[in-house]
Every structure is written in structure tokens, then in C-alpha cells.
Amino acid sequence: MAARLIEAERAACDRLPEAEREHSPSWHRGDITGVETVRAGHYIVGARLVFRKIEGLSVDWLRTAYACHQAQAAAEGYDPTFMAYCPAALADVSIDVTERSDGYVVTFRSSTRTESGPAILGRAEALVDRGD
């Protein structure tokens, strides 16, 4: 099992430069312009991060980078201290990336109605400087 997780990490991270493997896109807090709550009925199931448009950032790159960091988190056994700032490093998180006129939207969503949704949202909200 460990060998499979390591191989999955290697495959997922292969397209990223070494420097980008050490942190997720969520590390670039200055590029995040907003966070939105994702709900399913009355339940919080995740969050959306809105990234501003910058050169070199694309839907494909964001998908690749977050897939790498999800694979790293799995290989680490979803240790809560591993990339503790990143919503993608939690277990039970699916990610969708879309583009809109003002940037990119990354949706992190739990498939269950557990504590995962609020944990995703908490990490996402901590990334955004609200000027408090």
C-alpha cells in the first residue's frame, strides 16, 4: 500500500517543478481574492477559493498542482500538520477548477456530511486577508 501511495504521488507530481511541490497554490495567499462557502442544503460541505488571473496560472496548472498535493497528503496519511493551511490536504476532498472573467475558482468539496466540510471552509477562510 505504501509503495502504491508513493508511486501515485510521483505520478501526480511529475509535471510540477520541484519548487512547486513544496507548497500548494493555496500558499500564494496574495493571489487569492475571495472565499465562498459551499453548502448542500443546511450542511457546509466545502469552500471555493477565487484566484486572480496571473501569468502562468491556468485551469490545467491548478488541477495538476492540487492533484499533486492531494497525492502527497495521502502518502503522508493525511497527517493534520502536513500543509495544514491547504484545503486539498484533507481526506475526502474533491476538487474542481473553473475559469471566469476575473480569475479561477477552485472548489473543494467533501462527499460526506461530516466535519470535513467545515474543516475545508476553515482552512480556506484562513487564507484570505479580510483586513481585520
Task: Provide CB contacts within 8 A for 68, sequence distance 6+.
Answer: 9, 12, 13, 15, 16, 20, 21
Domain positions in the chain: 2-127
Return the DSSP state at 130. Answer: -
pLDDT confidence bin for 129, thresholds 50/70/90: low
The cell 484545503 sits on which residue?
A: 87
Gyration radius (Cα) of the chain, Å: 14
pTM of the model as a whole: 0.84
Q: Is the pLDDT of residue 46 over 50?
A: yes
pLDDT in tens, 18-34: 766 576 778 888 889 99
For range 36-57, the mean pLDDT: 92
Q: Is the pLDDT of residue 110 over 70?
A: yes
